[in-house]
Structure 1
Amino acid sequence: MCGYVSIYYKNNKYASLKEDVIEDINNKIFHRGPDDVGYFISEKVSLGFRRLSIIDVDNGKQPFNKGNTTMVFNGEIYNYLKLRQELKNKGYLFYTDSDTEVLLSAYIDMKEEMLDKLVGMYSFLIWDEEDKSLFGARDIFGIKPLYYIETEDFIAFASEYKSLVNLLDNRNLNKLSLQQYLSFQYPVGENTMFKDIKKIMPGHYFKIKDNKMIIEKYYDINYKSNESVTKEDVYNVIYNSIKSHMVSDVEVGTFLSGGVDSSIIAAIASKINPDIKSFSIGFGIDGYDELDIAKETADRLGIENIQINVTQDQYIRELPNIVRLLDDPLADPSAIGLYFLSREASKYVKVVLSGEGADELFGGYNIYKEYYSLKPFLNIPDRISSVINKMANSMPNIKGKNYLLRATTPLRQRYIGNAKIFENKDVENILRLYNSEYKYENITKDIYNEAENMGYDYVTTMQYIDMNTWLPGDILLKGDKMSMGASIELRVPFLDKNVFELSKGLSLKQKVTKKQSKVLLREAFEGIVPDHVVQKRKLGFPTPIRVWLKEELGDVVRKTIKDADVEQIINKEYAIELLDDHIRGVADNSRKVWTIFMFCLWHQIFVENLSVEFAH
């Protein structure tokens, strides 16, 4: 929907500069809201806002004031009409049709307790003039971002941290985040790649008063199987979510890949609006293109399908811009494709629906099915498992070795989310700043302990890890940054509080079997989603960097690694060796090389402050 910035002043040191500073940092997120701009400046706080007009286009301007409170808000409240009526019954008057006014009124009425009422994606800040306090929160999944820095003189917030970088005294690298990044492919938790920039975590709120900031958690992601969820329940809750996500005063479209998640959304959306447009992307390389499947799905649903093919040259040219938009480095090559898809969709619509979250909620990742193949080993005594593990480690690289290693290595020592790039021993080879205390299993230890205390089974534990790492750190980050980078709003109907509250009750067999993932979700939409999609194996969002690194892209990557001023951080010789082995076909090192490359490019742009361009 939008973006915002804010500075809470602990003293009057910057009194004469307030207006200039807030305008400068707000201009850095112009792409998040090209339709309008607004400011609120007082003795204690400054608020800046960029608007992408979606609901109540004429009256939804921000910062929004009501009584003694002023708010900036990024996102959408999907149950705002219900909340509006509840507040009207209490005597509240409304002067706009926007969800913004409803959100602020709910805060005036209930303070932080109103968070329990919200269904939506959001981050917001509310200045209470009477209480002299700044209150803010982020949605339960982390769909909308919120960064902050705190100094002796101020606390500053922004929807994207590029707005905050110039407020730093020093651009100090967060060594923990860098080590995390090499394994996870993104900085984990509250940390960013800069030591002094933090994230407000999903499901958390904060309050600043008398120059002190307190952060509290208001929502816990948890699971509880009840065996009573039916496919009718699943259909109804998802239908209602998609319907509420389509409420808009501007045109809404939908992304459409060859997978079941986006096809479910397109199928239901087409029932609600038969004229809805769908958007699909391909790369023109076998194995990395599902445009034919997307077109067949769209034809069967009777909706328009707008397709684009991205070339290697186009992909290379946009890389520096993508890194600027992402803020932190993200080693997920599909982010670039998502940007191109968003940019194409923005020519036709201002809002687009997408299928993120279905895998985490309904058990969609293929790796979840490994439970069944490893099951014979899961209950053997630890001492026997340890012996088999040592034997497997000493074996040559023959068929069955990896299976034995997985089967006899505890889940918490090897699973850190849906993607893992470098093992600890490899990180030690890459980093000149390696710290053994930052091993990836130490990062997820607390999450595993929580899962164990809750009694989660094998698959639910994997889901819980993904919900707390991969989903906010990769999936939702790229969804927000890439869509907002194209000035379009991405909505994710599967990541709805009501959908999650239902899905957390699924039994193991309703999520995955030995041969199938998302079992109950697929059953719920049989006969609605075309048959060629319902039972299709998950492919994901494939990007052909494996192929392109052996071509022109490899030259760009090699030069970037060599030119980046990271000799004291990264073992460049090791990185180039990985690239050379990939080009020669010794091993598929594409994701490892990409991870190092994206950090080097990020370092050039954000730390060295270079204006990098890839003219190709």
Structure 2
Amino acid sequence: MCGHVSIYYKNRNKDLEIEKLVENINHRGPNHTGIYKKDNIEFAFKRLSILDLENGSQPFEKNNNTIIFNGEIYNHNILRSNLIDKGYEFKTNCDTEVLLTSYIENKEKCVENLRGMFSFIIYDEERNLLFGARDHFGIKPLYYLDNSDFIVFSSEYKAIVNLLDEVNLNEKSLQNYLSFQYVPLENTMIEDIKLIPPGYSFTVKDGKLELKKYYKVDFIPKKHITANDVKEVVADSIKHHMDAHVEVGTFLSGGIDSTIVATIASQVNPNIKSFSVGFGVDGYDEIEVAKKTARVLGIENIDINVTQQDYIKSLPEVFYHLDDPVADPSQVGIYFLSKEAKKHATVVLSGEGADELFGGYNIYKEYNSVKPILNMPRGIKKALNGVSSVMPNIKGKSYLYRATTPLEDRYIGNAKIFENDEVRKIVKNYSENNEYQKILSSIYEEARINNYDYVTTMQHVDVNTWLEGDILQKADKMSMAQSIELRVPFLDKEVLELAKHLKIDQKISNSNTKVLLREAFKDIIPLHMVEKKKLGFPTPIRVWLKEDLGDVVRQTIHDADVDEVLNKDYAINLLDNHIKDHQDNSRKIWSIYAFCLWHQMFMENKIIKY
């Protein structure tokens, strides 16, 4: 919906010129700029008008409290009614006033009642403190910088990075990034800039920032869930996510998640427009499936084809808008989808989150195949693991390794790029203390305490890493780059409260994923989509790296001033072997390239154009 910057001055040694800072994120809210300054507090806000177009400007003040808020509160009408019953009056129809009034009534406990996506900060003048929070899943980002003179928050760190006296690379983050393809947890690629974690609130008082976890995503089956239960709660969430005073559209891929969203959305609004993207390369294009779905639903479908040259030219802008590098090639597709959708709508619905909540990733199915070995005695598994380590790269090697290696020693989420031994060859300052097993140790400990099964443990890792670090980062940044709001109905508190109870056989079978979700919607979505297997978001970098894209990648790695931290020769060798078809190194090459391009823009301050 918007973007904001806020400053809490500990010492007023200099004016940080908040008006200039917020202009760096004008794309997040081009409709209106609002500035608030009082005492040692400054707020700056960029608005993308969605609700109450006439009266929803921010910063918003009420009863000596002032708020800046990015996101949407989907239960704002219910909260408003409850607050009116308690004697509160409202002068707008926007959810911003409801959120602020809820704080006035409930103080820090207001976050317990919210259903939505949000990052917000409130200045409570009477209590002389800042209070803020980030939503349950981390849909909306919030970065911060805390030093001896000030604490500054921003929706994107490009607005505040120049406040650092010296911009230093976080080499721990670099090492993690090469395994995860994003920087995990609360760190960023830049030292001193961090993220407020999902499900956390915070206070700033007397110059001290304190964080508190208010919401925990868990998966503990306690009751029986039916297909009808799933259909009701998901459909309800989609309807709530269509609340807007502007045009709402929907992304439509060749997958079941966006198909479910588009189906329910078309029942609410038969005139809704859908948007699809393809790349014109065999095996990497789902436009025809999406168009078939749209025809069955009777809704308009607008498709775009991204050529290799389109893709290449967009890369500097794509990675600029991401802030931290995210080495997921599919984000370029979201960028172009958002660009096209902006011509027709201000809000779009998308299917992110269904895989994490309902068991949708194909890798989750490995449980059924490795189950016979999991229950073997430890000694036998250890021996088989030793066999796998000395086997040549033949069929069965990977299976034996996965079946005999504990999840915590190998699974870091839906994507793993480099193993530790290969990261050691790439980075110049490798540290065993930063290996991915240690980064995820607390997450796996939570899984053990909760007695999670195999698949649920995978989900738990993905929700706490991959979902925020990859899926939601690219969704927010690529859509907001085009001044369009992307909403994710599956990532709803009420949907999670149901999905947390699913059992393994309601998530995966031998042949497919999201078993109960498919069952719930099989009678209303187009028949050709009911059992369609997940393909992800296919992007043809494997093919293009052997063509013009490979030349661009090679030149960027060569030009980037990263010799002190990366082994460039190793990277170029990966590219050469890929081009010669010795092995598919596309994701590894892409991860190194993405970092190098990021480094040129954020560390070397270069303006890059292809």
Structure 2 length-normalised TM: 0.99
Does 2:233 align with 1:237? yes
Secondary structure of the equivalent of 2:92?
A: coil
Tell me what 1:448 maps to: 444
Q: What is the rounded CA distance, in whole Å, between the counterparts of 1:406 and 1:228 in structure 2?
A: 31
1:52 Cα offset (Å)? 0.3
Does 2:127 align with 1:134? no
Does 2:115 align with 1:111? no
Q: Is the 8 A contact 1:147 1:199 kept in 2?
A: yes
Q: What is the rounded CA distance, in whole Å, between the counterparts of 1:458 and 1:22 in structure 2?
A: 48
Q: Cα deviations across residues 304-339 of structure 1 (Å, max 9, x unaligned)?
A: 000000001011001011111000000000011100
Does 2:338 align with 1:342? yes
1:435 Cα offset (Å)? 0.7
2:478 pairs, out of 475, 482, 505, with 482
Does 2:574 align with 1:578? yes
Q: Which moved more, 1:393-402 or 1:213-222?
A: 393-402
Q: Cα deviations across residues 572-604 of structure 1 (Å, max 9, x unaligned)?
A: 000000000000000000000000000000000
Tell me what 1:323 maps to: 319
1:381 Cα offset (Å)? 2.1
Q: Is the 8 A contact 1:226 1:507 kept in 2?
A: no
Q: Which moved more, 1:461-470 or 1:391-400?
A: 391-400
Tell me what 2:39 maps to: 43
Amino acid at match of 2:168: N
2:74 pairs, out of 60, 63, 78, with 78
Tell me what 1:160 maps to: 156
Q: Cα deviations across residues 198-222 of structure 1 (Å, max 9, x unaligned)?
A: 0000000100011111110000111
1:69 pairs, out of 43, 50, 65, with 65
Q: Cα deviations across residues 331-377 of structure 1 (Å, max 9, x unaligned)?
A: 00001110000010000000000000000000000000000000011
Tell me what 1:13 maps to: 13
Tell me what 1:196 maps to: 192
Does 2:373 align with 1:377? yes
Q: What is the rounded CA distance, in whole Å, between the counterparts of 2:468 and 2:262 in structure 1?
A: 24
Moved over 6 A (4+): none
Q: What is the rounded CA distance, in whole Å, between the counterparts of 2:235 and 2:533 in structure 1?
A: 23
For residues 524-539 of structure 1, the aligned pairs below 5 Å read: 524-539=520-535
Q: Is the 8 A contact 1:357 1:495 kept in 2?
A: yes
Tell me what 1:4 maps to: 4
Q: What is the rounded CA distance, in whole Å, between the counterparts of 1:398 and 1:489 in structure 2?
A: 47
1:130 Cα offset (Å)? 1.1
Does 2:263 align with 1:267? yes
Q: What is the rounded CA distance, in whole Å, between the counterparts of 2:397 and 2:458 in structure 1?
A: 23
Q: What is the rounded CA distance, in whole Å, between the counterparts of 1:367 and 1:451 in structure 2?
A: 18
CA RMSD of aligned residues (A): 0.7
Does 2:243 align with 1:247? yes
Q: What is the rounded CA distance, in whole Å, between the counterparts of 2:165 and 2:408 in structure 1?
A: 38
Q: What is the rounded CA distance, in whole Å, between the counterparts of 2:22 and 2:254 in structure 1?
A: 38
Q: Is the 8 A contact 1:39 1:63 kept in 2?
A: yes
Tell me what 2:304 maps to: 308
Tell me what 2:392 maps to: 396
Amino acid at match of 2:449: N
1:391 Cα offset (Å)? 1.4
Q: What is the rounded CA distance, in whole Å, between the counterparts of 2:234 and 2:77 in structure 1?
A: 19
Secondary structure of the equivalent of 1:576?
A: helix
For residues 395-414 of structure 1, the aligned pairs below 5 Å read: 395-414=391-410
Q: Cα deviations across residues 451-509 of structure 1 (Å, max 9, x unaligned)?
A: 01100000000000000000000000100000000100000000000000000001111
Q: Which runs of 5+ in 2 are unaligned?
A: none
Amino acid at match of 1:163: A
Q: Which moved more, 1:376-385 or 1:485-494?
A: 376-385
Q: What is the rounded CA distance, in whole Å, between the counterparts of 2:180 and 2:19 in structure 1?
A: 35
Does 2:511 align with 1:515? yes
Secondary structure of the equivalent of 1:294?
A: helix
Q: What is the rounded CA distance, in whole Å, between the counterparts of 2:186 and 2:390 in structure 1?
A: 39
Tell me what 2:142 maps to: 146
Q: Is the 8 A contact 1:183 1:427 kept in 2?
A: yes
Secondary structure of the equivalent of 1:241?
A: helix
Q: Which runs of 5+ in 1 are unaligned?
A: none
Q: Cα deviations across residues 23-43 of structure 1 (Å, max 9, x unaligned)?
A: 111000000001110000112
Tell me what 2:547 maps to: 551
Q: What is the rounded CA distance, in whole Å, between the counterparts of 2:523 and 2:353 in structure 1?
A: 22
Q: Is the 8 A contact 1:47 1:72 kept in 2?
A: yes
Tell me what 2:360 maps to: 364
1:226 Cα offset (Å)? 3.0
Q: What is the rounded CA distance, in whole Å, between the counterparts of 2:179 and 2:67 in structure 1?
A: 38
Q: What is the rounded CA distance, in whole Å, between the counterparts of 1:255 and 1:402 in structure 2?
A: 36
Q: What is the rounded CA distance, in whole Å, between the counterparts of 1:70 and 1:28 in structure 2?
A: 23
Q: Cα deviations across residues 9-56 of structure 1 (Å, max 9, x unaligned)?
A: 002212xx25xx101110000000011100001121100000000000
1:469 pairs, out of 465, 470, 493, with 465
Q: What is the rounded CA distance, in whole Å, between the counterparts of 2:387 and 2:260 in structure 1?
A: 46
Secondary structure of the equivalent of 2:68?
A: strand
1:227 Cα offset (Å)? 4.8
Amino acid at match of 1:400: G
Q: What is the rounded CA distance, in whole Å, between the counterparts of 2:597 and 2:486 in structure 1?
A: 26
1:69 Cα offset (Å)? 0.5
The count of residues paired between Structure 1 and Structure 2 equals 610
Q: What is the rounded CA distance, in whole Å, between the counterparts of 1:552 and 1:373 in structure 2?
A: 40
Q: What is the rounded CA distance, in whole Å, between the counterparts of 1:200 and 1:278 in structure 2?
A: 33
Structure 1 length-normalised TM: 0.98
Does 2:91 align with 1:95? yes
Tell me what 2:25 maps to: 29
1:560 Cα offset (Å)? 0.3
Q: Cα deviations across residues 103-124 of structure 1 (Å, max 9, x unaligned)?
A: 0000000011111100000000
Secondary structure of the equivalent of 1:417?
A: coil
Q: What is the rounded CA distance, in whole Å, between the counterparts of 1:136 and 1:397 in structure 2?
A: 52
Tell me what 2:600 maps to: 604
Q: Is the 8 A contact 1:37 1:51 kept in 2?
A: yes
